Amino acid sequence: MIKMKKILAAALAVVMCMAIVGCDKKDDTAAPADSAADSVVSSVEQTPATEDNADKADEKTTKTTLVMATNASFPPYEYYENEKIVGIDAEIAELIAEKLGLTLEIKDMEFGSIIGAVQTGTVDIGMAGMTVTEERLVTVDFSDSYATAVQAIIVKEGSDIQTADDLQGKKIGVQESTTGDIYATGDFGDENLKRFSKGNDAVAALASGIVDAVIIDNEPAKNYVAANDGLKVLDTSYAEEEYAIAVNKDNTDLKEKINAALAELKADGTIDKIVAKYIPEK
């Protein structure tokens, strides 16, 4: 029996939310008229994943950049638009960098490499629709949460899979090293999983019948389904999660500054506004 998971992160996030203002959703009027969301991305500096910028991240004393690791095939959080990385995370990170007096630089990499890059200091932050989990908290710290998500199940229209329980014995596609991968491995067994380096590759495999279902975060799931005929997201959710920004354990100062910036961006409605821009129906 597959039960809905409520990971430790959810509890943590509640505690964090109580400590800061504006964690709850705002309906309202507080958002600035001129959307920061519209302008910020153009100033984002981006480097290809192959370029080695470790030296930059190491210059702690004269730092002018905030180097962010992400995996940019995860709309609406991070994805390419005209060769630029845009999305909810890119915009929030840009505003945080601005508040810290730094220039944001985004490095696109495999999702599974992000935590290691934060841990070794190759980058300053990891922001990639990344879920706070107990395992990740062993190696990195996380900021306060800035979004909630659920792991969703995508199937072909007309599939006999209706709930998570129906996934037993089926071939399941996941993005490697994500929580979808981790939970599904535990629940359904390694032999039933097919891991892909990108979420959209998993979805393409579903469309072509290589896997029977894909477990992935709900908002990307909706995006992928919209881009592929004949697929649907099941109503049932597989796990609830909190997204936060990964920071090196030794960099408490940066984490505190990020939390302060996030609190302001929540309180003045900016985050809601960015989310509404990318997820209009929310």
Question: Measured between alpha carbons, how far is residue 259 from residues 1, 59, 116, 217, 243 in Å?
Answer: 38, 22, 22, 24, 13
Does position 128 interact with ligand ARG (CB under 6 A)? The reply is yes
Peptide bond into 48 cis (omega under 30): no
Closest to ligand ARG by CB, 31 or 206: 206
C-alpha 97/C-alpha 263 separation (Å) is 14
CB of 21 to ligand ARG, least distance (A): 25
Window contacting ligand ARG (CB under 6 A); options: 17-25, 152-160, 172-180, 259-267: 172-180
Distance CA 116, CA 119 (A): 5
User: For the CA atoms of 114, 119, 125, 129, what is the dihedral angle to 10 degrees?
Assistant: 40
**SS3 label, residue 251:** coil
**Residue 234: HSE in the Cβ half-sphere, 13 Å Cα cutoff:** 26
Q: In terms of CB distance, is 94 or 217 closer to ligand ARG?
A: 217
Structure tokens that stand for 2 in this block: 């597959």
Site stretch for ligand ARG (CB under 6 A), options 36-44, 122-130, 157-165, 225-233: 122-130
Q: How far is the CB of 133 from ligand ARG (least distance, A)?
A: 7
Tell me the window of 101-109, 118-126, 173-181, 247-255 that interacts with ligand ARG (CB under 6 A): 173-181
- Residue 178 touches ligand ARG, criterion: CB under 6 A: yes
Asked if residue 259 binds ligand ARG (CB under 6 A), the reply is no
Contact 103, 97 (CB under 8 A): yes
Between residue 9 and residue 68, which ones bind ligand ARG under the rule CB under 6 A?
none
Q: Which stretch binds ligand ARG (CB under 6 A): 16-24, 61-69, 97-105, 123-131?
A: 123-131
Name every residue whose Cβ is closer than 8 Å to that of residue 138 and which is 6 or more positions away in sequence.
none
Residue 218 in the binding site for ligand ARG (CB under 6 A): no
CA distance to 2, 35, 65, 110, 275, per residue, from 97 (Å): 41, 17, 8, 23, 18
- Exactly one of 46, 119, 131, 223 binds ligand ARG (CB under 6 A); that residue is 131
111 binds ligand ARG (CB under 6 A): yes
Pick from 166, 217, 219, 242 the residue near ligand ARG by CB under 6 A: 217
Interface pick for ligand ARG out of 129, 246, 251, 269 (rule CB under 6 A): 129
Rounded alpha-carbon distances, angstroms, from residue 128 to 34, 73, 146, 163: 26, 10, 12, 27
Number of shown-chain residues binding ligand ARG (CB under 6 A) = 16
Which residues of this chain interact with ligand ARG, rule CB under 6 A?
70-71, 74, 77-78, 111, 128-131, 175, 178-179, 199, 217, 241
